[in-house]
Amino acid sequence: MIANIKYNSKNYKIDLSNPLDISIPLRDGSENVNAWYLDSPKIGPHQEGGFIGKVSEGASTNFNDIWFNPHSHVTHTECLGHITEGFYSINQELKQFFFLAEVITVAPEKKGDDFVISEKQLKYALGNKKREALIIRTIPNLENKKSMKYSNENPPYLLEAAASYLVDKGISHLLIDLPSVDKEKDGGALLAHNAFWRMNDKPRSSATITEFIYVGNEIEDGCYFLNLQVAPFENDASPSRPILYAPME
């Protein structure tokens, strides 16, 4: 199915039958991606009294309980409620779901004991392009990102100046293949989160950050349309399924 889209006076065509899924699914057990010092997620049949919610155990249906944390265990999209005293729900703040996006590949730079994504790198990758969403793929880009254990590993992160640059650039939706845009242990500073949501000025309540994506190596850098699918949780963050569609030539 071909869809015609008009964006900024330019016409695009996309093939809706060719979606590119860049989410990491939630799985039961230790093979799931994990961060922030939590145990593995659990998916299993509900048990109560003599009841076991599993057809193979005699139940009429499979009836699973699921235990997980969206920030630790799955591709998730978060709003500024992640760092505010007041409650903001991603289900309320994200009101549109289709955006013009750019996929870029970045090799984090060494800075002291850390690896970081800098403003200079983002400027080089984006140039004069005008986009609503930015998808950052870091290298090396191995399949083990889908099951990586990030706790106490000090993964790469975004520098504050880089996050501020994205705000100035008009990026409202940032997607990255890391557990956080910020340093794992920063004493609670969360510099990139604060800068991207512009918490010290006029907070951008409609802006979102999506973490724990995986952009396969078969997906080329460039322009895409992003369908940001978010589960309807009334929470600061929710499991999400970002889907890319490449414009047709």
> Are residues 224 and 109 part of one domain?
yes
Mean pLDDT per 10-residue segment, the chain (249 residues): 86 94 97 98 97 97 98 98 98 97 98 98 96 98 97 98 98 98 98 98 97 98 98 98 94
> Are residues 17 and 129 part of one domain?
yes
In 3D space, the residue among 37, 58, 38 whose CA is nearest the CA of residue 47 turns out to be: 58
> Are residues 208 and 183 part of one domain?
yes
Instruction: Decide: 161 and 155 in contact? Cβ < 8 Å.
Output: no
Residue 64 pLDDT: 98
Return the half-sphere exposure (C-beta side, CA atoms, 13 A cut-off) of residue 34: 16
Compute the C-alpha angle 109/191/168, nearest 5°: 80
Residue 1 pLDDT: 86
* Residues whose CB is less than 8 angstroms from the CB of residue 24 and which lie 6 or more positions away in sequence, other chains included: 33, 74, 75, 145, 146, 212, 213, 214
> Are residues 135 and 51 part of one domain?
no
> Are residues 188 and 218 part of one domain?
yes
| pTM assigned to the model | 0.97
Q: CA-CA distance, 189 to 165, in Å (whole number)?
A: 18
> Are residues 224 and 132 part of one domain?
yes
Structural domain containing residue 51: 26-72
